[in-house]
Amino acid sequence: MNFSELENPKNPDAAPHIGYIFALSSPFFAACATVVGKWNLENISALLLSAMIFSIATVIMSVAYIPFNNFRKIFTIKPRGWMWLLLFTLSSFLAIWLFWAGIKKIDPSLGAFLNRSEVMIAILMGIIFLGERFNRLETLGAILSIGGIVIMRLSLRVEYTEGFWLVLAGSFFFGMTEFFSKKTVRYAPPIIAVYLRNLMMSIMYWLILAGGDFSFEGLGKVWPGVLALGIFGPILSRMIYMMALKRLELSKVAVISQTQPVYVIFLALIFLQQLPTFREIAGGLFLLIGCLIMVLGRSRHVKQPYPVEKVG
């Protein structure tokens, strides 16, 4: 893959249909990551899983990108850019750790629906820190989204309560990640930002693991899934997402990205034989529709709506 093409396509408007293919592919790979991650978590911890997948992504990107695409760009980032990059990394670190910890305890389809609330958080960040305001469509979308969360919460069994809140907390940090990533790419090329984020996150996860009592027990059973997840999440889903953003408006990509829970439902049913309850699906649909309305409302209100963070 020619990663430089992701940052500077020769003619991004020449074949817009390619952008739609990328936009549909990115949530598919994110869904694959969610389902594969659920299988991996049956044998290893969320912390070890996160450390492994970002280490894998860092090694692959180091070999495939850095030697051929101007390593010196890393050293041209301004101090303010490093500040936003560190905030981007920290919020991603917390979001992904909480997400996988929650997915370990709940149905992956339910988690995928619940994680869509990141759109509401991202828009709220713009309102709080950028002085933006809710329009009528966004207000309606927010009400539907909150209603969907309430419906899903009421349908949960007792043992799922902790996982529910972990995924919801993860979606909060995913929303913050989008705000910080928008700031970061003003100072650093997107691929460099993703590469440095992956590198720093892998180091952070391993430092936490080294400070505690952990083992690699169970990794031998799921190592193919861990390898696949390292490719599906931090590399394929994220890179294809950027390719879509180079060819389509952010609002279109954000709307198409909301299809991720649909992919997860089918993949979880086929490979894990898991399916949400009727109330959980109903709540998820309310949340999904609410997020779509908010994205559409934001696209009419501003030129640069907030994109949706991918798993990994």
Residue 9 lies in a domain: no
Residue pLDDT, tens place only, 261-296: 888 888 888 888 877 777 777 877 887 788 778 767
Q: Take residue 23 and report the two structure tokens written for it.
A: 């936009």
Residue 307 lies in a domain: no
Predicted confidence band at 25 (pLDDT cuts at 50, 70, 90)? confident
Phi, psi dihedral angles at 13 (to 5 degrees): -95, 0
Contact indicator for 147, 290 with CB cutoff of 8 Å:
yes
Count the neighbouring beta carbons within 10 Å of the beta carbon of residue 223.
15
Residue 311 lies in a domain: no
Number of domains in the chain: 1
Predicted confidence band at 195 (pLDDT cuts at 50, 70, 90)? confident
Residue 8 lies in a domain: no
Contact indicator for 272, 38 with CB cutoff of 8 Å:
yes
Residue 309 lies in a domain: no
Predicted confidence band at 12 (pLDDT cuts at 50, 70, 90)? very low
Count the neighbouring beta carbons within 10 Å of the beta carbon of residue 209.
17
Sign of the C-alpha dihedral computed for residues 115, 120, 124 and 130 taken in this order: positive
Residue 107, classed as helix, strand or coil, is: coil
From the list 186, 185, 166, 163, the residue with the least C-alpha distance to 174 is: 166
* Predicted pLDDT of residue 305: 46
Residue 138 lies in a domain: yes
Domain assignment of residue 272, given as a range: 15-301
CA atoms of 175 and 121, how far apart (whole Å)? 5
Residue 5 lies in a domain: no
Q: Which of 134-138, 180-184, 214-218, 241-245 has the highest mean pLDDT?
A: 214-218
Residue 3 lies in a domain: no
* Predicted pLDDT of residue 285: 82
Count the neighbouring beta carbons within 10 Å of the beta carbon of residue 136.
10
Percent of the chain at pLDDT exceeding 70: 77
* Predicted pLDDT of residue 182: 72
